[in-house]
Amino acid sequence: MNKAEVLVVGAGASGLMFASLHESKDILVVEANDKYAKKLRVSGGGKCNLTNKYVSYKNYLGDEKFVKDILSGFTNKEVLEYFDEVDLVVKKHNQYFCKNSAKDVVDFFEKRVKNVLVGCEVLDVEYKNNKFLVKTTKGDMEAKKLIVASGGLSFKELGSSDIAFKIAQKFGHTIKTLKPALVGFTLQRDDFWMKELSGVSLKVEIKVGEKKFFDDLLFTHRGISGPSVLNSSLYWSKGSIEIDFLPKQKLEFKKIQKQISSNLPLPKRFIKEFLKSISLEDKVVAKLTKDELEKLSVLKSYQLSPAGDFGYKKAEVTKGGINSDEIDVKTMESKKQKNLYFIGECLDVTGELGGYNFQWSFSSAYRVKI
């Protein structure tokens, strides 16, 4: 039987960060995948976006006080200082990427985390005689403290698992509704015209509730995706979102003797399908009636009610999770079971695109007191 002072379930960003912060401790990290840090390896297009230049609790869906408190304990600046030997550069949307590749971050952890057992899936956990008895595919294990850092349900191909939620429920925790997030939207019939635009991308502003996102929208054969849509999915649950296809500019026609498509600074394919969707021909602007001009004004405030989303297979993260009210914000210890800790994505805290979820993983791991 493997024995350790501390057993960490999950060798992703939060699990590896915790283990690296406590190198001198007797820690065993178990990972269900045949290779650890799979999400780190592929994130940011293989460049691993570790954090963002600007981080605030406002970039997260979750309990405001809980998020703010934990982020303040290990800030983005402190993350950068911790990874000082990794060559990082600031790129798109103020994200910090590895200059070479995500392997630099993996190598960083490999130097500091020595005791990792891969291909080891946790099957069940019990607590007896002040110890956790953990059944795994590689035999029974025993530990005084258990750190659950196994993430959520997104990215199935990377070996995601629901074990964190099973463990939490076994010890009396409640789970906030789990849903795919940072994911594309599928369309209702009224918006099927967008499927004809697969591959087209344009800059838009999307409003969902009180949130606004100015970024690219990508049309796909299934629906809509791209950074603006993915961020919107974090805050959408039902109802409509509002899309401005001409962000930061007015809808105006300067060349009234030319056709609509020659006046609008939008891809021709988009204009063609949009005009068809509102039953308007691509006519000379001077011949547009008041009603037709009104139809065109929807470009600034297009109401779209998603049919759903692309699901966990395409989602970058899982929103919902273990109720943060049941976690001690000072130590990340369960309020239901002593010596049991939850960190990272499995908690009911989810960040927007841009390095925010890795920042959360690192900050929550740093907060653990053992």
pLDDT for the residue 139: 97
Higher pLDDT, 116 or 160: 116
Backbone angles phi, psi at 243, to 5 degrees: -115, 130
Instruction: Give the orientation angle of helix 13-21 with respect to helix 38-46, to 10 degrees.
Output: 110
d(C-alpha 221, C-alpha 203), whole Å: 19
pLDDT above 80 for 255: no
Q: Name the residue among 259, 212, 233 with its Cα closest to residue 314.
A: 233
**Mean pLDDT, range 159-185, rounded to an integer:** 97
Q: Any residues with CB less than 8 A from the CB of 324 and at least 6 apart, and which?
A: 62, 63, 66, 347, 348, 349
Q: pLDDT tens, 282-330? A: 999 999 999 999 999 999 999 999 999 999 999 999 999 999 999 999 9
Q: pLDDT tens, 355-366? A: 999 999 999 999
Please, which pLDDT band fits residue 208 given cuts at 50, 70 and 90? Answer: very high
d(C-alpha 92, C-alpha 100), whole Å: 16
Q: pLDDT tens, 19-69? A: 999 999 999 999 999 999 999 999 999 999 999 999 999 999 999 999 999
Alpha helices in 182-299 (DSSP H): 227-235, 260-263, 268-277, 290-296
Instruction: Give the orientation angle of helix 13-21 with respect to helix 356-367, to 10 degrees.
Output: 40
Query: How does DSSP classify residue 306?
Result: -
Domains of the chain: 2-180+318-367 (3.50.50.60), 185-309 (2.40.30.10)
Give the Cβ contact number of residue 367 at 10 Å. Answer: 22
d(C-alpha 270, C-alpha 18), whole Å: 48
Count CA within 13 A, CB hemisphere, residue 63: 15
Mean pLDDT across the chain: 96
Q: Any residues with CB less than 8 A from the CB of 44 and at least 6 apart, and which?
A: 95, 97, 98, 102, 355
Q: pLDDT tens, 152-164? A: 999 877 888 999 9
Look up the pTM and report it: 0.95
Identify whether the C-beta of residue 181 lies closer than 8 Å to the C-beta of residue 350: yes
- Give the rounded percent of residues in the chain with a pLDDT score beyond 70: 100
pLDDT above 80 for 261: yes
pLDDT for the residue 155: 83
